Amino acid sequence: MDKEILLVLSASVVFLTSYTRLNGQQTKLHREQFHPLTFAEADKKADSVLALMTADEKIAYVGGDRSFFIRPLPRLKLREVYMSDATQGVHIRDKFVGNDLSNYELDKSTSFPCPISLASTWDPELSFRYSEAIGEECRAGGIGILLGPGMNAYRQSQCGRNFEYFGEDPFLRSRMIEEYVKGVQSTGTVATLKHFAANNTDYYRRRSNSVVDERALHEIYLPPFKAGVDAGARAVMTSYNQLNGEWCGQSETVIDEILRKQLGFQWLVMTDWWSVYDGEKLAKSGQDLEMPLAVALKDAHALIRDGKVTMSDIERMAKSILRTYFSMKFDEMKRDTLYYDNFADHEHTALQTAREGIVLLKNDGNILPIAANTKSILLTGDFVEKLAVGGGSAEVKGYNSKLMLDEFKKEFGGKLVYVKDPSAAQIQSADIVVCNVGTKDSEGWDRPFALPEDQELKVRLCVENNPNTIVIVASGSGIRMTDWNAKARAIVYAWYGGQSGNQALAEIIAGKTNPSGKLPITIEKEFKDSPGYGYIPAGESLYSGWNDGKEKEHPIFDINYKESIFIGYRWYEKKKIKPLYPFGYGLSYTSFEYSDLSVSKEKFSDNDTVTISFKVKNTGTVRGTEIAQLYVEDVHASLPRPIKELKGFKRAELEPGQTATITMQLTRKDFSFWNPAAKGWDAEKGEFIIHVGSSSRDIPLQKSIELL
């Protein structure tokens, strides 16, 4: 890289600015990393402002303003703070009647591959760059708070928002999310961990009660939030659902007890939009800010008069908002349009994420990459002329969007013919058929595991009429492939790739990029195989579209997390159900061989760190990246434990013939489970097995070790 540093005196003077010229072309603006004020420093400032606020001002401050703002208070020089969705880029709002958003108008924002695609990269460093770019776009738009990362669990494949989240495994999610938080906040933008907690379906999302036991909460659902809290996240958004019978946004157990005391979160807690109902409970719960406006606390004055809410409850809430405000230096913050200069770099990060996040599931006879001597390629499918995107508040329009048709034409020129609805004869006569199917996943509802009927029929038509059919899946979640999986020659899981996703996809199909993504989820054969099956109340069925009216009439219903800690591969392994594609799985155009597993200590005690090392060799003929995975098995446990659990992973980029020695370190926590009797993490003495391999089901190396 040819680096050229130009020092520039920034307009806002808050940051030292420099430009790096990459390869003599792109420039990237670097700010000095943002350092927030500590709790004690921010607390002092918050105290001094709170002392000057009138009771009315304090009451007003704890309700949101104009849908997406923390309210300004000009008398005390408190600025308004604008919030924007979401995890995969900045959602530009243009439809807020009566809201003057002119100070926050971005001409454009980069549409990144969806978070489940980011999770498929298993690349925490990329997660940092991805979210740093989004943080910079927030700065360019004067947006103080990013309403992301979305980070609920992939408990079942039908959840409409799985595309916004990071998959099924708490360890992988935690590693990606902690870097995500650091990336966003390194720019001075708040990261909001959402939605707390156990919000894993969008089916009548304001009416469900997640019934979750203590172990499942601590082992599966809370760890990514804890990782985000420890990474310094300055905000948490509570969820729409009830957890064990209480609305999360007004629950003392959820907020005060679990989030604040157990996870140690000290900063701003806000409700999800229109999700709380009882002002008294809200004020006592540890909640700080009711969004989008005070509804439960609409009659705060009356609640105070009746002694249900005290002024000190309101002060606690207002102070927490102020603390976060000062910690992030919002009193000095300026919109910084110089960051537009980095959009080309952001676009490149989006492209890189798609390159790493696409997962190759099947490649019989190495039909991919498509051979140079192929004469005719027939391209068909629903997302050839338009981008596949996830919908709802997370949707990002993007710019420079690359369509599949154009990108494939670039790679294959005149060999490529696009036919929207090909006949059997047309399919038969092509050398290769590329059939693209997918789902339109969205916030607000869940969607069937099965493809829409027309798409299912189309993909079957293709595989039945041409043995060289390559299927490309555009979806935010697992889909049913059972009836055509065996006949498809290759399957590429492309997720929602954002504005540059189709470029990465075409590169992979043509062999310019070697795929390396691995599934952050298990894809089941049938939905009934999955742990989430049966969550919809008897006699009801899925719907699509916003249904706020109907929602109000729907009774509150329980979703029993009866599988407890056994979600994802933990479930399929325990139940001995073979999934179609296992967690951690993904192919490459090269092959890898694992060997020489060794451990630094075969017997270890509580305070030891055990170093695990092994070798991975590229045994194929092209350069490729392997994501090596380490799982831990507790051989004899006093409580039921998963057969194995992910506790480490590393990416290794290798030339043909090259070998990497990979090391990972484990501590007591990695061998522990949540012990409800002791209300804490326990590691029991005895034998553990270390499993090392290329997916949760492909484990070439194992070694037994003992905790003394």
Q: Is the peptide bond before 292 cis (omega within 30 degrees of 0)?
A: yes
* Smaller CB separation from ligand BGC, 87 or 500: 87
With CB under 6 A as the contact rule, the residue among 129, 139, 182, 194 that binds ligand BGC is 194
Q: How far is the CB of 273 from ligand BGC (least distance, A)?
A: 4
Q: How far is the CB of 459 from ligand BGC (least distance, A)?
A: 32
Q: How far is the CB of 155 from ligand BGC (least distance, A)?
A: 17
* Smaller CB separation from ligand BGC, 275 or 352: 275
Q: Hunting for tokens 């199917």 — which residue is that? A: 437
* Smaller CB separation from ligand BGC, 164 or 633: 164
Let me know how many helices (H) and strands (E) the chain has, helices first: 18, 29
Sequence-ordered list of residues with C-beta below 8 angstroms from that of 187, at least 6 positions apart, any chain: 31, 34, 132, 135, 136, 138, 139
Task: Please give the Cα distance from 132 to 50 (Å, whole number).
Answer: 32
Q: Does 504 bind ligand BGC (CB under 6 A)?
A: no
- Residue 659 one-letter amino acid: T
Q: Which of residues 250-289 bind ligand BGC (CB under 6 A)?
A: 272-273
* Smaller CB separation from ligand BGC, 193 or 384: 193
Q: Phi-psi bin for 323: left (phi > 0), alpha (psi -120 to 50), beta?
A: alpha
Q: Hunting for tokens 């059939």 — which residue is that? A: 435
The kind and range of the H/E element at 26 are strand 26-31
Q: 112 to each of 105, 142, 150, 573, 645, how far by Cα in Å?
A: 19, 20, 14, 33, 29
* Smaller CB separation from ligand BGC, 528 or 550: 550
Q: How far is the CB of 241 from ligand BGC (least distance, A)?
A: 11
Q: 323 phi and psi, to 5 degrees?
A: -60, -45
Task: Please give the Cα distance from 335 to 140 (Å, whole number).
Answer: 6
Bridge partners for 418 per DSSP: 379
β-pairing verdict for 81-84 and 145-146: parallel
Q: Does 355 bind ligand BGC (CB under 6 A)?
A: no
Marked catalytic residue, from 272, 382, 446, 634: 272
* Smaller CB separation from ligand BGC, 219 or 272: 272
Q: Does 85 bind ligand BGC (CB under 6 A)?
A: yes
Going residue by residue from 38 to 77, which x/- string records binding to ligand BGC, judged by CB under 6 A?
Answer: ----------------------------------------
114: its two tokens: 């969806």
- Residue 692 one-letter amino acid: V
Q: How far is the CB of 177 from ligand BGC (least distance, A)?
A: 15
Q: How far is the CB of 398 from ligand BGC (least distance, A)?
A: 18
591: its two tokens: 């092959």
Q: Which of residues 389-408 bind ligand BGC (CB under 6 A)?
A: 393
Alpha helices in 554-682 (DSSP H): 569-575
Q: Which of residues 557-576 bind ligand BGC (CB under 6 A)?
A: none
* Smaller CB separation from ligand BGC, 121 or 241: 241
By rule CB under 6 A, what count of residues binds ligand BGC? 7
What b/e sequence results for 47-83 when a residue is b if at least 16 CB atoms lie within 10 Å of its CB, and e otherwise?
eebbeebeeebbbbbbbbbebbbbbebeeeebbbbbb
123 catalytically annotated: no
Q: How far is the CB of 392 from ligand BGC (least distance, A)?
A: 7
Task: Please give the Cα distance from 173 to 583 (Å, whole number).
Answer: 13
Q: Does 147 bind ligand BGC (CB under 6 A)?
A: yes
Bridge partners for 289 per DSSP: 270
Tell me which residue of 629, 627, 641 sits closest to 671, measured CA to CA: 641
Q: Which residues bind ligand BGC (CB under 6 A)?
A: 85-86, 147, 194, 272-273, 393
Residues identified as active-site: 272
